[in-house]
Structure 1
Amino acid sequence: MTEALGTTLAELFNSDQPPGPRIVRHGERPQLIHGGARKYMLSPRPLSHIEMFAGEFDPGESTGNEPYNHGDSQEFLTVIRGSVDVQVDGRSHLLDAGDTIEYRSSQLHRTVNVGDGVAEVHWIVSPVTVPSTTGSSEGTNDD
């Protein structure tokens, strides 16, 4: 994951926060390739207590062929546009624009665009997690 973000683990979790607000410009968001999804980090580095990602899925694309997990954090997925199937521990949850699902990041999960157009989602994870070896791990083209 750190290679995909162009950083190191130490930099991601460095507790020395610069003073004042921090901005992540749209054109400068680190991108992760996650299965068929385009995933962008929205949280400024270094990360501390929370991380936020934006994801875009073309029709039929997903976070990967297999469910994955990472750490044991609270994870929220909100659908901004389109329709997705969020699979958590083998159960499907169909969500449309404006819907939110919450689950533990330690649970096996996978997201699939089931609509006809591009689906856009936001993930919020707290506290920050690192990839797991169970299932596929985030940031390795399998999410």
Structure 2
Amino acid sequence: MDLVALGERLRTERVRRGVTLEGLAAASGVSRSMISTIERGLKAPTVIVLARLATGLGTTAARLLDESTRAKVMVIRHEQQRALVDPGGWERRILSPNLPGVEFEFIRTSVPPHVVLGEFAAHAAGSREYVAVESGRLTVTVAGEDHLLEAGDSLYYDGDQVHSFANHHDAACVYYTAMEVP
């Protein structure tokens, strides 16, 4: 990950949206000093911190990771996809392109056994999230209510609620998330 480019995109999005460092800290729950350090390209954020910053700006993590591109047809090869690996061992792979003016993410997440991904902040009002489990079992907690999903199951929820993901089981889990932020 190019930390300088990530920092520049974070700062550009923050300034473009008229949000101060203090405002983003308040909206994201990430400290002002951490945001400043990331914007200067001195530190890589964890997957959760990047998600909180994106949510605080009302955008997606994909918008912060890559420049927007536009084409009628786009193939994103496996080696071109942004993969974020959390210190906890889970991987989040962004499958969707970053299109100008479109706040949408399509994500594949791989979770080892007995790993809790953590809590994701509520997105902007009107946001929508869809989850589909490819393999394993996944507990999705939305607004404090647990939903156990097994291979082949799917779930929809309004994205403007606090949500979390966990694999409490002995087998790895792979699931997909599609998220739209208005």
Partner amino acid, structure 2, of 1:116 = D
Aligned length: 124
Aligned equivalent of 1:19: 71
Aligned equivalent of 2:9: 8
Aligned equivalent of 1:95: 149
Percentage of identical aligned residues: 25
Partner amino acid, structure 2, of 1:8 = R
Aligned equivalent of 2:84: 32
Question: What are the Cα deviations for residues 53-107 of structure 1, in whole angstroms up to 9, with x where unaligned?
Answer: 000100011222x453232311001001100111111111111011111112221
Aligned equivalent of 1:138: none
**Is residue 52 from structure 1 mapped to residue 106 from structure 2 by the alignment?**
yes
Q: 1:49 to 1:68 in 2, by over 3 A?
A: closer
SS in 2 for 1:62: strand
Tell me the TM-score normalised to structure 2 length: 0.58
Greater Rg over alpha carbons, structure: 2
Partner amino acid, structure 2, of 1:30 = R
Structure 1: stretches of 5+ with no match in the other structure? 129-143
SS in 1 for 2:130: strand
Aligned CA RMSD, in angstroms, stands at 2.9
- Contact map agreement 1:35 1:62 (CA 8 A) in 2: no
The structure carrying a bigger strand percent of its residues is 1
- Contact map agreement 1:49 1:126 (CA 8 A) in 2: yes
2:140 pairs with 60, 65, 86, which one? 86
Partner amino acid, structure 2, of 1:104 = D
The structure carrying a bigger helix percent of its residues is 2
| Bigger relative contact order (CA 8 A; separation at least 6) | 1
- Contact map agreement 2:70 2:99 (CA 8 A) in 1: no
Partner amino acid, structure 2, of 1:120 = V
Alpha-carbon separation, structure 2, partners of 1:42 and 1:19: 16
Tell me the TM-score normalised to structure 1 length: 0.72
Q: 1:53 to 1:28 in 2, by over 3 A?
A: same
- Contact map agreement 1:81 1:97 (CA 8 A) in 2: yes
- Contact map agreement 1:35 1:63 (CA 8 A) in 2: no
Alpha-carbon separation, structure 2, partners of 1:97 and 1:84: 9
1:71 pairs with 114, 120, 124, which one? 124
Structure 2: stretches of 5+ with no match in the other structure? 14-61
Runs of 4+ in 1 over 6 A off after TM superposition: none
Question: What are the Cα deviations for residues 5-28 of structure 1, in whole angstroms up to 9, with x where unaligned?
Answer: 958255939xx7533211211122
Question: What are the Cα deviations for residues 21-48 of structure 1, in whole angstroms up to 9, with x where unaligned?
Answer: 1121112211224573210111112361
